[in-house]
Amino acid sequence: MIGSMLKGKCPRCRKANIFCEPNPYVFNKMFLMPEHCDSCGLKFNKEPGFFYGSMYVGYGLSVAYLVAFYVAMVVLLQDFEVETYLLLSIISLLVLTPVIFKLSRSIWLSMFEKYDPKAIENWKEKTKGKEIDNPCIEA
Ligand SMILES: [Zn+2]
């Protein structure tokens, strides 16, 4: 489960990507997600504004990162100025923001969907092998 979250895979089938562009540093495609999962048909954007909730997850991840960064500096450097910590932590957090953004959406979606090993089979049965239009939409 954690592996599929980190890789940005669908939480129900753990096969297809939940983002149209998996690379978090392609900024113009950052918000694009398929309408539904290619493999199991799970609708990603369950309702308008569904992913606003992922901001809570992103906030938690950011705070956890800053605490871990502080602990790492205390352990590794022992003696440092607080300004050094602020500067380094803010710069590294800015660099990591796109990664945290995608990870928090992935975690948020996983909080509402359980893994279903038969999901792909069920979707194939339901669509009878037909290609379903699946545009990338801004979510
Ligand atoms: Zn799926």
Going from the Cα of 136 to the center of ligand 1, the distance in angstroms, rounded, reads: 15
Q: 64-76, pLDDT tens digit by residue?
A: 999 999 999 999 9
Distance 99 CA to ligand 1 centre (A): 21
Mean pLDDT of 55-83: 96
Over pLDDT 90: what percentage of the chain?
A: 89
Residue 137 lies in a domain: no
* Cβ 6 vs Cβ 103: under 8 Å: yes
The number of domains in the chain is 2
Question: CA nearest 97: which of 30, 8, 51?
Answer: 30
Q: State the distance from the centre of ligand 1 to the C-alpha of 42, rounded, in angstroms.
A: 6
Residues 72, 41 share a domain: no
The whole-number pLDDT of residue 75 equals 95
Interatomic CA distance for residues 30 and 33, integer angstroms: 9
- For residue 115, report the distance from its CA to the centre of ligand 1, in Å: 9
> How many angstroms does the Cα of residue 20 sit away from the middle of ligand 1?
14
pTM score, two decimals? Answer: 0.90
Residue type, 126: K
Q: Ligand 1 center to residue 26 CA distance, Å?
A: 23
Is position 26 within any domain? no
Q: What is the mean pLDDT of the chain?
A: 94
- The packing angle between helices 54-77 and 82-110, to 10°, is 140
